[in-house]
Structure 1
């Protein structure tokens, strides 16, 4: 119990350090958060009319348009309902950039080596960065959600469905935070750390964030339907807008759990291996 207590205390200290550092240097956090907001404005106001009309014309299993009876925002007037869940998820993936860079900066500046010589928990450094990342990313998600609501996003979710959506986003953010922590530990420079997570931020574009996979060519459609972020986006749409979820929720949680496990084990192994060098 004493060991757990010391680890929790040291992790709180590291968390406080990282949050103060983020407040002292907010430019990186602001840049990462502003990108999903810009994407939301771009796709809704610039491309929304064309994309929304195209989505509503897609046939469904019953032969009706894709927008008929789904409530998912597929007409040109409510494309914001379709695109908002995908852009909100992009806010979660964008947070990986900040985490990877922050961890890499600590490593390259030598502060990690100093921590290793101090009588603190070995996991406190990693835990502090991960929890700090989750807090900052969830704040960014709340900001993007607020902008979406101002733009006309109108979810009809119950309180339980809201809690489920927030829980799924938190789980995804936690998984990506551990994964990006591992990236920051293996990256040689902060510039490299900022480039490696870039595919994570772009992957939702190759899913159902902007348009349905049904509108894509066969090969790209297969990839879009089977990549990690599409079931998360579809689950968020179902929870917020009342569209069908099917087995997307189970697949989304499974993907998040797998990413969390891989990221956690990778980050711990990399940190411990570095300590032995």
Structure 2
């Protein structure tokens, strides 16, 4: 392999890792947002378990039922903050400096996505730690746990990249922040907190066929040792489709915004 070809292959990866390091350093400087993204899912889990759990019949301990949904809520909320970071970069003029260093759009956005995944790993560990303290006991195998982690990571990457698209579309970080509220709402009309069959019949179609439900059902089945059938493949198909569309849109939007 020639030096020029080797550079063309390795440079985007090196740039992406550099941008990821930058994103993590920026997170350390914005501790209030990081703490909020970590504590909010924990607080919601405690509210649902101790305030509402006694009135909700899921056929099992409610903490056992709700934890997979909270993990997804945590992942969605944390990933959605990528939109704010991308929007701040686009508004602040730092992109011109990166382009002068021959750093392309995909590495810049990939850096935000990798940093988002790193933040989400910490948030997920915190949620699981608190869940264990309040009675969550998974019944899984090592392959099942690894499969659940893989699906959750695929969801984080897909939503993070979709958030990057939102950050490129809007004109202010404040508007980008609105995407986090959408991602917080999406798990509610799903099987995250109550079984779908307890919802009004007119809501069943959406709740059963939106992307969050198969991801949650996959996590729940893999962590608790329930049969999952083809559900994990459906979840991965949603994640792959979302990621594919987001990659295409982000590349086109970045070129349009920086032309």
Give 1:116 deviation, angstroms: 2.0
Matched, 1:263 2:250: no
Question: Which residue of structure 2 aligns with residue 174 of structure 1?
Answer: 157
Whole-Å separation in 1 of the counterparts to 2:179 and 2:191: 23
Question: Which residue of structure 1 aligns with residue 33 of structure 2?
Answer: 28
Matched, 1:244 2:227: yes
Whole-Å separation in 1 of the counterparts to 2:247 and 2:90: 18
State which of 184, 192, 205 in structure 2 corresponds to 1:222: 205
Conserved 8 A contact 1:6-1:121? no
* CA RMSD across the alignment: 1.2
Question: Which residue of structure 1 aligns with residue 3 of structure 2?
Answer: none
Whole-Å separation in 2 of the counterparts to 1:149 and 1:251: 28
Question: Which residue of structure 2 aligns with residue 13 of structure 1?
Answer: 18
Question: Which residue of structure 2 aligns with residue 231 of structure 1?
Answer: 214
Whole-Å separation in 2 of the counterparts to 1:200 and 1:28: 16
Give 1:258 deviation, angstroms: 0.8
Question: Which residue of structure 2 aligns with residue 43 of structure 1?
Answer: 48
Question: Which residue of structure 2 aligns with residue 70 of structure 1?
Answer: none
Give 1:159 deviation, angstroms: 0.7
Q: TM-score, normalised by structure 1?
A: 0.88
SS in 1 for 2:188: helix
Q: 1:122 to 1:215 in 2, by over 3 A?
A: closer
Whole-Å separation in 1 of the counterparts to 2:77 and 2:152: 13
Number of residue pairs aligned between Structure 1 and Structure 2? 254
Conserved 8 A contact 2:20-2:115? yes
Specify every segment of 5 or more residues in structure 2 that has no aligned partner in the other structure, as ranges: 1-5
Give 1:20 deviation, angstroms: 0.9
Conserved 8 A contact 1:29-1:98? no
Whole-Å separation in 2 of the counterparts to 1:11 and 1:97: 19
Give 1:122 deviation, angstroms: 3.8
Whole-Å separation in 1 of the counterparts to 2:104 and 2:69: 38
Conserved 8 A contact 2:105-2:251? no
Give 1:244 deviation, angstroms: 2.6
Deviates more, 1:111-120 or 1:164-173: 111-120
Whole-Å separation in 2 of the counterparts to 1:227 and 1:123: 28
Specify every segment of 5 or more residues in structure 1 that has no aligned partner in the other structure, as ranges: 56-66, 68-73
Give 1:117 deviation, angstroms: 2.5
Conserved 8 A contact 1:33-1:94? no
Give 1:183 deviation, angstroms: 0.6
Q: TM-score, normalised by structure 2?
A: 0.94
Whole-Å separation in 1 of the counterparts to 2:13 and 2:75: 25
Q: 1:86 to 1:274 in 2, by over 3 A?
A: same
Deviations 1:214-256 (A, max 9, x none): 1111111221111111111111111011123132112111111
Conserved 8 A contact 1:183-1:197? no
